[in-house]
A and B are shown apart, each in its own frame.
Chain A
Amino acid sequence: MNEQIEPQKTNRLVIWLFNPFQYLAGWQALIVGIIGIVAAALIGSIGNVHFDGVLDLHIGAEAPLWFFIAEGFIDWLSLAIVLLIAGLILKGISFRIIDIFGTQALSRWPMLFSAAVGMLPANQRVTEALMKMIQNPNQPPVLPIADTVVFAAAMIVILVMLVWMVAMMYRAYAVSCNLKGAKAIISFIVALLIAEAVSKLALWPLFLLANK
């Protein structure tokens, strides 16, 4: 085999971090991705970290494990389905559907780290204090400095993870559908906005079901 086609080893780490789809797609990516979604839901259920939208993460109310898993699956499927439609419009049936679903599932791996950071007890305490402040605006919240620092650091990490996830989602879409340039970027942004709305709508019955 021609070695020139293989990417240089020095670039491999960067590729694995931002474009693992160069090596992993289809069923393999789907299995690894679903493991990540379920693991993020498991960790999220411990610290009440909810993924209530394609790009959302909130520390919220207690809920059963199935609720966290369902949130993860709804987020993944909302974007994968919208991107599949976008791909079909732009490229016809020239790509494999399994690549879209597999690579999009794999793209959600950064959320696993976000869930781990989000479950820190300091975040719970700050969130509770902020909620109390919203309910009683006249009563100033009691926030230990250490908790505030941890909360601020966690928010930065979560933001970085979010950017990483969106970058991976875009690469996954571009590789799976073989799209490049402005066409790929514009269609991805539009699809992401639509998917965010779709996920919110799809999660609504879930909230109703959980509140019964």
Chain B
Amino acid sequence: MSNLPIQCPACKEQLKVKQLACENCRTQVEGLYELPLLMRLDTEEQAFLTDFIKCSGSLKDMAGLMKLSYPTVRNRLDEIIDKIKQFEKTVAKEAKEKDK
């Protein structure tokens, strides 16, 4: 299965979910849904977080798994944290604008 696109290939805007389908009974749900915060990360970052959770949140274990040094892994996590914080800010801003 191909990777979930998260950015518009034309204007780079955040994509939203318009349609969901059940593979079993072919039911289709249509609407306009926001992607969950973690889904907005690229596949590499999502894989990093999955590994991180599997390592019980231990950066030391994560460094061993990835065969990278502790600060390198920590820096990567910091980058993802910054990105999530940025997403949260954007979501909060959008929610405010909708309320107006």
Seen from chain A, the residues whose Cβ lies within 8 Å of a Cβ on chain B are 1-2, 4-6, 21-26, 29, 95-96, 99, 103, 175-176, 178
B56 CB to nearest A CB, Å:
15
Q: B87 interface residue, CB < 8 Å from A?
A: no
What chain B residues lie within 8 Å of A96 (beta carbons)? 70-71
Q: Which residue of B lies closest to A29 (CB)?
A: B69
Judged by a CB distance under 8 angstroms, whether B14 is at the interface is no
Q: Would you call B65 an interface residue if the criterion is a C-beta within 8 Å of the partner chain's C-beta atoms?
A: yes
Contact of A23 among B44, B50, B65, B68 (CB under 8 A): B68
Question: Do B71 and A25 touch (CB < 8 A)?
Answer: yes
Could you name 9 residue pairs across A and B whose Cβ atoms are closer than 8 Å?
Answer: A1-B66, A2-B44, A5-B47, A23-B68, A25-B69, A96-B71, A99-B70, A175-B69, A176-B71
**A42 vs chain B, min Cβ distance (A):** 27
Selected contact of B51 from candidates A1, A21, A22, A175, CB within 8 Å: A1
Q: Apart from A2-B47, A95-B71, A96-B70, what are 18 other A-B pairs with CB-CB below 8 Å?
A: A2-B43, A2-B48, A2-B51, A4-B44, A4-B47, A5-B47, A5-B48, A6-B67, A23-B72, A25-B70, A25-B71, A95-B74, A96-B71, A99-B71, A103-B71, A175-B71, A175-B72, A178-B75
B residues engaging A (CB < 8 A)? Answer: 43-44, 47-48, 50-51, 65-72, 74-76, 78
B69–A22 CB distance below 8 A: yes
Alpha-carbon distance between A178 and B74 when the two chains are bound, in angstroms: 9
Alpha-carbon separation in the docked complex, A175 to B70 (Å): 10
Q: Most A CB atoms within 10 A — which of B67, B69, B71, B72?
A: B71
* C-alpha gap A24/B72 in the complex (Å): 9
User: In the complex, what residue of chain B is closest to A98 when comparing beta carbons?
Assistant: B70
Q: Which 7 A-B pairs have the closest CB atoms?
A: A2-B47, A25-B69, A178-B75, A4-B44, A22-B72, A99-B71, A25-B71
User: Which residues of the other chain, A, contact B51 by a CB distance below 8 angstroms?
Assistant: 1-2
Interface contact A21-B71, CB-CB below 8 Å: yes
Instruction: Give Cα A149 to B48, complex, Å.
Output: 53
CB of A23 within 8 A of CB of B71, answer no
Give A157 Cβ to nearest chain B Cβ, in Å.
29
Nearest CB in chain B to that of A94: its residue: B78
Determine the residue in chain A with the shortest Cβ distance to B59: A96
Chain B residues contacting A29 (CB-CB under 8 Å) are 69
